[in-house]
Amino acid sequence: MAHDVEVLSGPARVARAALNGYAVAIYIFLFAPIVLLVLFSFNANRYGTFPITGWTLEWYRAAFSDYQVHDAVATTLKVAAQVTLISAVVGTAAAFPLVRSRLPFREGIRIILILPIMIPGLLIGVSLLVLFTSTFHWQLSEETAVIGQAVYTTPFVILLVAARLQGFDRALERAAADLGANTFQRLRRVVLPLIFPAILAGALFAFTLSLDEFIITYFLIGPNNTLPIYIYTQIKFGITPEVNAVATLLLAGSLILLAVAFVLPQLVRRARRLVTSARAA
Amino acid sequence: MSASAAAEAAPARDRLPRFASAIGSYVGFLPAVLLLGLCFLVPLGIIVCYSFWETVDYAVVHHWTLDNYRYFFSVSAYVSTMWATLWVAVVATALAIGLAFPFAYWLSRYVPQRFRTILLVLVIVPFWASYLLRVYSWLTILGEQGVLNRFLQWLGITNHPLGIFLYDRPAVILVLIYLYFPFGALTLYSSIERFDWNQLRAAMDLGASPLQAIFRILIPQIKPGIITAIIFVFIPILGEYLTPQIVGGTGGVMIGNLIVNFFQEAEYTRGSAIALLVAAFIVALLIIFRKSLSTKEAYGA
């Protein structure tokens, strides 16, 4: 890059040094709270803060043997699995017409799709609460929470899959058609495999969003607890090292999932390339 | 076999438009319309109705009235919470974007290309962590037993834990900056990245001071990115609930907390009025700035 070797004047060098320092400060600001949280989850100190009085796995043991944590983890995974399935299917199906057909009111539809992402989850939560309890007189349950979360996660899947479809070469489909593939075969053997990385990324993204979702779930889940809601009820009584341990586990879970969501599509692509080149050879 | 394949192939070409009309047409939209229509737009519509209806003896009566809005604006604590929310949102957005700009500038001007991606990913990593946990983690820093108090006691500046860091508006603003900085940094970076730095050098060759060059050459060119960043930070803050709830105490209450209180006390009609005020304000902002709402830029999809 040209400006890497640019000869800087004295003041410019000072400016660059100052900005380097500033960037370091920003990274500390971004990471310190999370690093401290993880650190304190291994700290023997009862109060879950400094000073570090020794290292222990006691809080993890306590968390693992707590039946409330067990229940919360089970509920969280059950809800997340359903949300993922719904938003992957609904989102993928909706991405096709969004990209491929000449929709009337395209701009309006785009805004309605972005709205559940942009509008605070709080409003989605309370409006569904009114619909379920006051209009339909339903009991709140895991299922109502699933519906609420799916409203919020599906648009993400639509946007991710639509972006992938946008760059899709339709000549491939025409070629498949010329070779005798019918509609279903073209979809199953040509289109879906090619956009699969985007669907996978969307599904994993939806799963992670669901794991962490708080406010919509808070209104709609009724008597059950997901992990974030369990953590929230515990925080009300102050910081405890057990909560730090549960928090660290949740943190690790969502970071691993998101890393997978972004790395996996690349791996799939690479693996496919290997397979095709092996076949060709 | 080959004959039947040929017979298949001929109509298949004609079938492609039909494929487009079967799969690529509106059928695929149906589930999304059901989900987002029935579970997003309809409930919002119900909120609109409720906000103009009355609650009599804990039952909602379909009687059109403006009382819920009148009630909201008649209680000074509510009105001041509304202004406080706007104020917090403006200050937190300004500071988050203000802090993000030099960072994005540094990243695109002084960092060699090969390190940029990894440094950018490092900014997003905390953003991926659970939202609740990112708020909660500040309790371990700002609380009475927190890192900051321990540090001050260790330095000998104070001999007892100070309660001043938490449970007020500054704590809310600090945590909001922390939450939304990555958004601002990403959006600004993606527009500064396309900037041709030679223009800045040319301006300075012509006698502009570095700051003049930044404000008169760089900033006007990345204005769309700045507006996108502002919108994507400002709007979510308006609906914040957890941050003021966890670190805000009584001094940091925002309008989201009001809405939650009303709904938890089953005052659906009054709560709906406040919710609608917030929703209407946000939708108005989205419509005004719809051109800047490039989702591609914001989500890097």
A194 touches chain B (CB under 8 A): no
DSSP for B138-165 reads THHHHSTTSHHHHHHHHHTS-SS---SS
Q: How confident is the model at residue B261 (pLDDT cuts 50, 70, 90)?
A: very high
Q: With CB atoms and an 8 Å threshold, state whether B271 touches A126.
A: yes
Residues on chain B touching A34 (C-beta within 8 angstroms): 126, 129, 133-134, 137
Nearest-Cα distance to chain B for A43, in Å, is 13
Q: Is the confidence at residue A1, as pLDDT, over 50?
A: no
pLDDT of residue A243: 85
Nearest-Cα distance to chain A for B59, in Å, is 9
Q: With CB atoms and an 8 Å threshold, state whether A97 touches B134.
A: no
Q: How confident is the model at residue A178 (pLDDT cuts 50, 70, 90)?
A: confident
Q: How confident is the model at residue B3 (pLDDT cuts 50, 70, 90)?
A: very low
Question: In chain B, which residue's Cα lies nearest the Cα of A218?
Answer: B260
Determine the average pLDDT of the residues in A110-134: 87
pLDDT of residue A6: 57
Q: How confident is the model at residue B5 (pLDDT cuts 50, 70, 90)?
A: very low
pLDDT of residue A12: 76
Nearest-Cα distance to chain A for B74, in Å, is 23
pLDDT of residue B293: 63
Determine the average pLDDT of the residues in B133-155: 81
Q: Is the confidence at residue B276, as pLDDT, over 90?
A: yes
**Measured torsion, CA atoms of residues A205, A209, A211, A217, in degrees rounded to the nearest 10:** -150
Determine the average pLDDT of the residues in B53-61: 79
pLDDT of residue A159: 87
What is the C-alpha end-to-end distance of chain A, expressed in Å? 39
Q: How confident is the model at residue A187 (pLDDT cuts 50, 70, 90)?
A: confident
Nearest-Cα distance to chain B for A280, in Å, is 25
Determine the average pLDDT of the residues in A141-165: 91
The mean of the pLDDT values for chain B is 82
ipTM, 2 decimals?
Answer: 0.82
Domain regions of chain A by residue span: 2-41, 64-280
Residue of B204 and B276 predicted with greater confidence: B276
Which structure tokens are listed for A225?
């607890």
Worst-scoring range by mean pLDDT, A171-175, A227-231, B144-148?
A: B144-148
Determine the average pLDDT of the residues in B162-190: 88
CATH code, A64-280: 1.10.3720.10
The residue to which tokens 């100052």 are assigned = A18
What is the C-alpha end-to-end distance of chain B, expressed in Å? 44
pLDDT of residue A110: 73
Residue of B118 and B290 predicted with greater confidence: B118
Q: With CB atoms and an 8 Å threshold, state whether B106 touches A34.
A: no
Residues on chain A touching B99 (C-beta within 8 angstroms): 26
Backbone angles phi, psi at B49, to 5 degrees: -60, -50
What is the rounded CA–CA span in Å between residue A51 and residue B149?
Answer: 11
Q: Is the confidence at residue A152, as pLDDT, over 50?
A: yes
Nearest to A22 among B44, B102, B295 (CB): B102
Q: Is the confidence at residue A231, as pLDDT, over 80?
A: yes
Nearest-Cα distance to chain B for A88, in Å, is 11
Determine the average pLDDT of the residues in B242-252: 87
Residues on chain A touching B278 (C-beta within 8 angstroms): 120, 123
Share of chain A above pLDDT 90, in %: 27
Residues on chain A touching B29 (C-beta within 8 angstroms): 93-94, 97-98
Q: Is the confidence at residue B255, as pLDDT, over 90?
A: yes
Beta strands in B28-185 (DSSP E): 54-56, 59-61
What is the rounded CA–CA span in Å between residue B215 and residue B205?
Answer: 16
pLDDT of residue B294: 54
Share of chain B above pLDDT 70, in %: 88
- Contact between B291 and B227 (Cβ < 8 Å): no
pLDDT of residue B111: 87
Nearest to B286 among A111, A128, A147 (CB): A111
| Interface with chain A: mutation pick from B68, B128, B177, B197, highest number of A CBs within 10 Å | B128
What is the interface size between A and B, counted as CB pairs within 8 Å?
A: 279
pLDDT tens digits for range A33-81? 888 888 888 888 777 667 777 788 888 888 888 888 889 999 999 999 9
What is the rounded CA–CA span in Å between residue A105 and residue A207?
Answer: 30
- 57-76 in chain A: CB under 8 A from chain B: none
Nearest to A122 among B25, B140, B239 (CB): B239
pLDDT of residue A281: 66
Q: Which fold has domain B68-299?
A: MetI-like fold (1.10.3720)
Q: How confident is the model at residue B25 (pLDDT cuts 50, 70, 90)?
A: low
Cα dist from A228 to A6, A233, B131, whole Å? 50, 9, 9
Q: Is the confidence at residue B212, as pLDDT, over 50?
A: yes
Residue of B256 and B26 predicted with greater confidence: B256
Nearest to A93 among B21, B28, B134 (CB): B28
pLDDT tens digits for range B87-137? 999 999 999 999 999 999 999 888 888 888 888 888 888 777 778 888 988
Q: Is the confidence at residue B173, as pLDDT, over 60?
A: yes
Domain regions of chain B by residue span: 1-51, 68-299
pLDDT of residue B297: 43
Q: Closest Cα partner for A8 from B197, B119, B299?
A: B197
pLDDT of residue B52: 92
Residue type at B219 in one-letter notation: I
- Centre a 10 Å sphere on the Cβ of residue A113 and count the other Cβ atoms it contains: 21
pLDDT of residue A144: 93
Determine the average pLDDT of the residues in A271-281: 76
Exposed / middle / buried, residue A134 (Cβ in 10 Å: 0-12, 13-18, 19+): middle
